[in-house]
Amino acid sequence: MKLQVYPLSLPGVMLIRSARTSDARGFFAETYVKRDFAQAGMCTDFIQDNQSFSVSAGTVRGLHFQIPPLQQAKLIRVLRGKIFDVVVDLRRSSANYGEHSNVELSAEGGEQLFVPAGFAHGFCTLVGETEVFYKVDAIYSAAHDAGVNWLDPAFGIPWPVDTSKAILSDKDKALPTMNTLPAYFE
């Protein structure tokens, strides 16, 4: 079994584990095979790869998304370190609108998270020197780049960092709350 897929609490959000073949050298894993993902219901044409590096534990990135027509599905994995990963359903027609799901991803565990378009995504590093790699199915566009505040009380996200010690960009500190967002995703 090459690909194990575990649905999370929000429809369409999937935790993925790829089989690893190990020997004295370490391991080998096929982290993305389009055919296998399509068979598991994730028919996404990824066109851009991104990577982030965070120096310190407690670094928060997010909650980000792109608005239509350049909304993005994402496939996230950790290359080094460990993160507390969060997705928030922003689809107004969804029975789960405004709800979040969170999961821990680590380089050691090799898990990946599939996030469909219509969700905000963010994470908090749990250890220093963490590298996160993700694929997206729409090219980055500054004109379509958006986000929602990571501390919005409407979400009730149990962030694993003292909010006064969290490290964020100025842009992420200024993100609006969900109740002020237009209906980007119906």
184: annotated active-site residue: no
**Which sign, positive or negative, has the C-alpha torsion 103, 131, 127, 23?**
positive
Beta bridge partners of 21: 28
Smallest Cα–Cα separation from 4: which of 132, 114, 133, 123?
114
144: annotated active-site residue: no
Smallest Cα–Cα separation from 157: which of 170, 168, 148?
148
Smallest Cα–Cα separation from 42: which of 13, 20, 69?
13
Smallest Cα–Cα separation from 106: which of 79, 75, 136, 88?
79
Choice among 6, 32, 64, 144 that is catalytic: 64
Choice among 6, 32, 121, 134 that is catalytic: 134
Q: How many CB atoms lie within 10 A of CB 61?
A: 20
Q: Show which residues are catalytic.
A: 64, 134
